[in-house]
Structure 1
Amino acid sequence: MNKKFWKNTALAGIMTFSVTGTTVYAHDELGGSGEKGENLAGVELSVPLLEGSKNLGNLKEVASIPLKEIQTGVKNSTADVYAYKGYAYLGTHSANGGAGGVRVFDMKDPSNPVEVSSFASIKGTWQEKVIVKSVNTPDFKGDLAVVSVQQLDRFNHDTKGGFVLYDVTNPENPKKLGFWESPSPARGTHELYLTVQGNNIYVLTADCYADYYSHGKNMDVSFVDVSNPTNPETIYEFDPREYIPEVNDANYDGYNWTDEEGVKRTAFAHSVKTDDNGTTAYLSYWDLGTIILDISDAKNPVYLGRTDFNNTVQGAAHSMDLARGGTVLVETREVFGPVREGFESAYGYTMIYDIKDKTNPKLLSTFKTDFTEKIPGGATVHDPKVHGNTLYLSHYSGGVRAVDISNPSSPVETGAYIPSKSNIWGVFVDRNYVLASDMGQGLKVLQKNGSTNQSQQSSYSMIE
């Protein structure tokens, strides 16, 4: 295992305000911009909004399916959503004790999804993220699912965080293959990604605060070889101090970071993803921006560059997606606290970068919705998904937004879907429909029709 992070001395800044119990599941649980999750589920809007134009067409809700109760009397809430080979996979959040596992829906008829199985329900944990891909190695051939596992209480030694692997070649009969236990004292894996490099299959993990809680012994990001899914093997852990000149032991303790301008910021790994061929990794590292690595040799990544923020911008790089053949990066920033001394007053919004030169990302534009006044508390953007020239954004109480990015320097909103009591966590495009996971209401299925109703347009700013 290639470890570049072992320290001779303990890091400074030991936490004096530990978060305990099972009531806080923030994306920034150490006191920054926390993710509201369940707290937004009660926001009532007057009427659902379905509108669209241009390349999107009209978004029509064709199905809204609640999750089954796999534990009698326990209602689980949804987290992220993924689709593969005609099935939708919904992760579950932490409501009512978690342990909701992953729910599998047969999507043969998008207007009538049928929940056909569940897997990875683990007591004392929650299963937010699920990725499914077809793999072919000497040890396993079929459809492989990887599921993030986070403890509700990191001090509960009867539970373990990390990720679990399942054979979902038959999605209606998933079979457990293996489990990777996160070595850190943090909760486990928050987000992850499954990537394929020929016969080599890797899972990249974002174990929020692993670096901080372990005082540098463990890192937030691990690369795990799962070519044999029954025996996951950690091959690399990423330490920003080893790669980024602006980060060192003197100004970074695994969470608190003072940037080169003397601005006090927060930096931890929240999300990870790769390009389609699995050779470039993108680490969403909060105020360190999106860190870009060449991982052609996964055991020896090469640092390429990172996105950066103006001094007055709250960073909070939450997640990302690629557009225009990987030459454009879409970065979403989750900011629930719009007022922060020394920074602009703004909820989290989307930033679009030119990354033709990955060593020097250049900001092209920003995209903001009109939710700031209309839906306080749910105004921040969450996850992005790019499909062709359309960017889909989940916005909690703000529902789903669709944005035309055929000109990345001038994004234009083309549609919105906001159901009553909206609390949209994730969004995913599959064939001719859009899936959305509503935390309180389950799976939403949106059909793309061909009408051309004029839509509202949200504000954007063009960077000269």
Structure 2
Amino acid sequence: MNRLVLRMGVVALSAVLALPVGVASAHDGDEHVHPAPASPKQVGFELLGTANPGTGSTGDVYAFDGFAYLGSWIGQGCLSKGIRVYDLSDPRHPTQVSTFADAASNPALAGTWTEKVIVQRVHTRSFRGVLAAVSFQSCSSTDQQAFRGFGVYDVTDPRHPRELSRYSAPGTRGSHEIWLGAHGGRAFVYTAIIRSELTTSPTFDPVTRDATVPGRADFRIVDVTDPRRPRDTGEWGAWRELGIKPNADGRANFVHSVRVDDNLRRAYLSYWDLGTVLLDISDPARPRFLGRTTPTQGATHSSFVTRGGTLLVETHETEAGLPVYYDISRPSQPRQLSTFSVEGFGNDTVHDPKVRGATTFFSWYSLGVVAARSAVPTRPTLLAQFVPDTDYINPDFFCEEPCAQVWGVALEGGLVLASDMNSGLYVLRLR
């Protein structure tokens, strides 16, 4: 497995999350490692443009209405670079137009990193425009002054973002991944707060990192219909609802990420070693368990749901981690259809999936962006692959020589966007 992905998370995930040694993620941790460079590749993709934001490690990328929103990661120095916004009107020359949720513009955000941002149009009694929800995590588990939770920003004019509110999650590391949804005059942030059910327990012992009763759930639903006043609405945790402890049988059962359907009726929780948990959230105050996948790989990282809610793509961030396709037309009994691999997968891990029509796009760290034909989900096949070719060595990242580490992939019209942890934003198009 890619040494960067495997080792960067071991220290933080072992200490902060009490994971078994060897379970890792590039989302946490600050151990200095030196990955081998990847081999550049450009098969089936056309590279249109790039944008390097400079010193500071890059997180995920989100695309909305002609703009790219580029997150930032903890890196070596916890530089708290926030979200960088790029105008894609000329995709060959993406232009940075603003930065927000960063320590330079708001010193109260020092000591945080902002890897995830979701942007949606919202129409409610209290707000009409475009909102961005941004995850905040504390770079240090011992720094109790650093903010942890999420922020809500008005990005109706992406060139002039405005903070509207922040939601705090004390007793945790903060919001790891999030989703923002709006429907029927209401809006909600859905957040995954890793190990909240354990660390917020009134009986939590920081020495043994164990507890006897559950605290606040890892998955929370926060009403942002009035985005200036976030309000807790509902939550769900496997310990309280199913009796499955976060560390049951030596496994790591925590919510890593979440997606929600457009009608705000289904939530899909990537519950690490527990698989993907499917919830009915039509009543956001009372999420209801429907079923879950039971993957053999563990480390269920993220998902994408398509075909009217009947097809699930699930990724696994673990040694030689692969994506899995499921038929979820019967939520109580998800049925595995296939897995998908690409040459070199045994030396790295898949990360995030996105689907457009009959094509699935994956971010795959040193293997870059991988596109798969998935019209027949029982037999996905390779369509295209792009691995960045760069001579850049980011002082905040972990490469001693130029390297590629593609974290995120996003779709905007006919464009495919990739975020590389070392070198920033790439704008692609399928040939």
Q: Same fold (TM over 0.5)?
A: yes
Q: CA deviation at 1:448?
A: 2.1
Q: 2:25 aligns with which of 27, 30, 35?
A: 35
* Offset of residue 25 of structure 1: 5.0
Residue 131 of structure 2 is aligned to residue 162 of structure 1: no
Query: Given residue 44 of structure 1, which amino acid in structure 2 is its aligned partner?
Result: P
Among 361, 367, 377, the residue aligned to 2:340: 367
Cα distance in 2, alignment partners of residues 440 and 40 from structure 1: 13
Determine which of 415, 420, 424 is the counterpart of 1:433.
415
State the identity %.
Answer: 39
Please tell me whether Structure 1 or Structure 2 has the larger radius of gyration of its CA atoms.
Answer: 1
Once the two structures are superposed, the pairs formed by residues 409-420 of structure 1 within 5 Å of their partners are 409-420=378-389
Instruction: Tell me the equivalent position of 2:45.
Output: 59
Contact 2:38 2:367 in 1 (8 A): no
Map residues 191-270 of structure 1 onto 2, 5 A cutoff: 191-215=177-201, 216-244=214-242, 248=243, 252-253=244-245, 255-258=246-249, 264-270=250-256
CA–CA distance in 1 between the matches of 2:13 and 2:425?
A: 22
Confirm or deny that 1:397 pairs with 2:366.
yes
Kept in 1, the 8 Å contact 2:264–2:281? The answer is: yes
Deviation at 1:364, TM superposition (A): 0.6
Q: Deviation digits for residues 151-175 of structure 1, max 9, x if unmatched?
A: 0012212112000010000000001
C-alpha distance after superposition, 1:305-358 (max 9, x if no partner) = 11113xxx231111000122221000001103xxxxxxxxxx111111001111
What amino acid is the match of 1:323?
T
Report if aligned partners of 1:292, 1:305 keep a CA contact under 8 Å in 2. Answer: yes
User: How much does 1:144 deviate?
Assistant: 0.4
1:323 is matched with 306
1:314 aligns with 2:294: no
2:175 equivalent to 1:189: yes
Q: 2:136 aligned to 142, 145, 149, which one? A: 149
Shift of 1:201: 0.5
Aligned 1:54-203 pairs, distance under 5 A:
58-68=44-54, 75-95=55-75, 96-121=77-102, 122-183=109-170, 185-203=171-189
The SS at the match of 2:308 is helix
Q: Are the counterparts in 2 of residues 81 and 88 from structure 1 also a CA contact under 8 Å?
A: yes
- For 1:231 and 1:60, the matched residues in 2 are separated by 44
Q: Give the residue type in structure 2 aligned to 1:90.
A: L
Instruction: Find the partner of 1:49 among 35, 38, 41.
Output: 41
User: Would the aligned equivalents of 1:40 and 1:396 in 2 still touch at CA under 8 Å?
Assistant: no
Q: Supply the AA of the counterpart residue of 1:307.
A: T
CA contact 2:197–2:239 (8 Å) conserved in 1: no
Large movers: runs of 4+ above 4 Å: 22-29, 37-42
Cα distance in 2, alignment partners of residues 100 and 432 from structure 1: 28
Q: Aligned pair in 2 of structure 1 residues 29, 368: CA closer, same or farther (>3 Å)? A: farther
C-alpha distance after superposition, 1:174-211 (max 9, x if no partner)? 0110000013x221000000011311111111011111
C-alpha RMSD of matched pairs (Å): 1.9
Provide the residue aligned with 1:72 in structure 2: none
Classify the secondary structure of the residue corresponding to 2:349.
Answer: coil
Look up the equivalent residue of 1:383 and give its one-letter code: D
Equivalent position amino acid for 2:38 in 1: L
Residue 293 in structure 1 maps to residue 279 in structure 2: yes
Say which SS state the counterpart of residue 251 (structure 2) adopts.
Answer: strand
Give the deviation of 1:31 after TM superposition. Answer: 3.1
Give the whole-Å Cα distance in 2 for the aligned partners of 1:45 and 1:425. Answer: 14
Q: Is the 2:164–2:228 contact (alpha carbons within 8 Å) kept by the matching residues of 1? A: yes
Moved more, 22-31 or 284-293: 22-31
**Which residue of 2 is the match for residue 353 of structure 1?**
326
1:443 aligns to what? 425
Q: Secondary structure at the match of 2:248?
A: strand
Instruction: Give ranges in structure 2 of 5+ residues lacking alignment.
Output: 1-8, 103-108, 202-213, 390-402
Distance (whole Å) between structure 2 residues aligned to residue 44 and residue 207 of structure 1: 33
Distance 1:83 1:284, change over 3 A: same
The aligned counterpart of 2:375 is 406
1 CA distance for matches of 2:89 and 2:116?
23
Q: In the alignment, residue 269 of structure 2 is paired with which amino acid? A: L
Q: 1:389, 1:356 → 2: CA distance?
A: 18
Equivalent-residue separation in structure 1 for 2:254 and 2:288 (angstroms):
19
- Contact 2:417 / 2:426 at 8 angstroms: preserved in 1? yes
Shift of 1:433: 1.1
Partner of 1:241, secondary structure, is helix
Give the SS at the match of 1:360: coil
SS in 2 for 1:103: strand
Match of 1:8 in 2: none
2:12 and 2:414 mapped to 1: Cα distance? Answer: 34
Correspondence for 1:380: 349
Alpha-carbon distance in structure 2 between the residues aligned to 1:212 and 1:98: 29
How many residue pairs get aligned? The number is: 385
Q: Taking structure 1 as reference, are residues 165 and 24 closer, same or farther at Cα in structure 2, changes over 3 Å only?
A: farther
Alpha carbons 1:287, 1:315 under 8 Å: kept = yes
Aligned 8 A contact 1:41 1:440 in 2: no
AA aligned to 1:267 is N
Contact 1:40 1:423 in 2 (8 A): no
Paired residue secondary structure (1:179): strand
Aligned-partner Cα distance in 1 for 2:80–2:47:
29
TM superposition shift of 1:24 = 4.7
Q: How many Å apart are 1:41 and its aligned residue? A: 7.3
Partner AA of 1:83 in structure 2 = A
